[in-house]
Amino acid sequence: MSVRALLPVWLDWRAGVRAPGADLLSGLIVALVALPLALGFGISSGLGAAAGLATAVIAGAVAAVFGGSRFQVSGPTGAMTVVLVPIFHQHGASGVLAVGLLAGLVLVVLAVAGVGRAVRYMPAPVIEGFTAGIAVVIALQQVPAALGIAHAHGDKVWQAAADAVRQYLGHLDPLPIATALLVAALMLVGGRYLPRWPFALLAVALATAAVAVFDLPLERIGAIPSGLQAPGLGFLHADQLGSLLAPALAVAALAALESLLSATAADAMAVGTRHNSDRELFGQGLAN
């Protein structure tokens, strides 16, 4: 496949340009949700909060422009930290960046080779299971915040959720749970009867204002860890690059599976649209 066939065209942007209101509102809500996740993943990877934020902004924009799905949002993910944390400890920041670069090159090569189209042969139960798994992971990720626990410990989401429950049971406080339930109820009921109103944004804004005005102690843990400055970047030797190839392939495989399966799941939720698998791999490769 030629690189030209993977580049965006005007047809991709026509619907959004003609009616940008819904897309702009959705983007604002997603940005509010993605901000703490990006900061947290940057810190957990070892590169600092600023690196997570920069990745969410730049890589998210690149993947949106060059990707192949209209309804997909790209950004830092927790699955990558499992691979990147050991690399940071062994090789520092330059090792993490080298893995990202190599993974991006692998994804671009897969896109040009047309490998992305193989996702159409993925069995429906696999896609349904992946979608259900995403729902479970998202739900578990919300447990610490819903309980007012800022720093739950655990490498996996279920471990962090379990640790948050343990910490909460040690200091019972109904206020965080009540706030979470009220916000969820406002979003669900408001979206049911007034679907054109941005109740997700309104609920978050009202809850945040209430916490600020009444100084409600919804989080009992201390300050956010430091790390707003990314460590200095060094240089890697050729022998070090060889040892980073396996982690880079792992990151590329994770990125390809997550993005393509998520895009397929998004197609099932939309009407009259399908993603382009090879372009999605191309966009993810450039973003990395």
Helix/strand/coil (H, E, C) string of the chain?
CCHHHHCCCHHHHHHHHHCCHHHHHHHHHHHHHHHHHHHHHHHHHCCCHHHHHHHHHHHHHHHHHHCCCCCCCCCCCHHHHHHHHHHHHHHHHHHHHHHHHHHHHHHHHHHHCCHHHHHHHCCHHHHHHHHHHHHHHHHHHHHHHHCCCCCCCCCCHHHHHHHHHHHHHHCCCHHHHHHHHHHHHHHHHHHHHCCCCCHHHHHHHHHHHHHHHHCCCCCCCCCCCCCCCCCCCCCCCHHHHHHCHHHHHHHHHHHHHHHHHHHHHHHHHCCCCCCCHHHHHHHHHHHC
Q: Report if residue 206 sits inside a domain.
A: no
Total structural domains in the chain? Answer: 1
pLDDT value at residue 111: 92
Residues of the chain with pLDDT under 50: 220-233
pLDDT value at residue 215: 64
Q: Report if residue 141 sits inside a domain.
A: yes
pLDDT value at residue 105: 95
Q: Report if residue 170 sits inside a domain.
A: no
Domain range for 21 is 3-147+244-287
pLDDT value at residue 235: 58
Q: Report if residue 137 sits inside a domain.
A: yes
pLDDT value at residue 238: 66
Instruction: Tell me the per-residue pLDDT of 108-129, one tens digit each, with 9 for 90 and over.
Output: 999 999 888 887 777 778 767 7
Q: Report if residue 64 sits inside a domain.
A: yes
pLDDT value at residue 223: 36
Q: Report if residue 25 sits inside a domain.
A: yes
Q: Report if residue 95 sits inside a domain.
A: yes
Q: Report if residue 230 sits inside a domain.
A: no
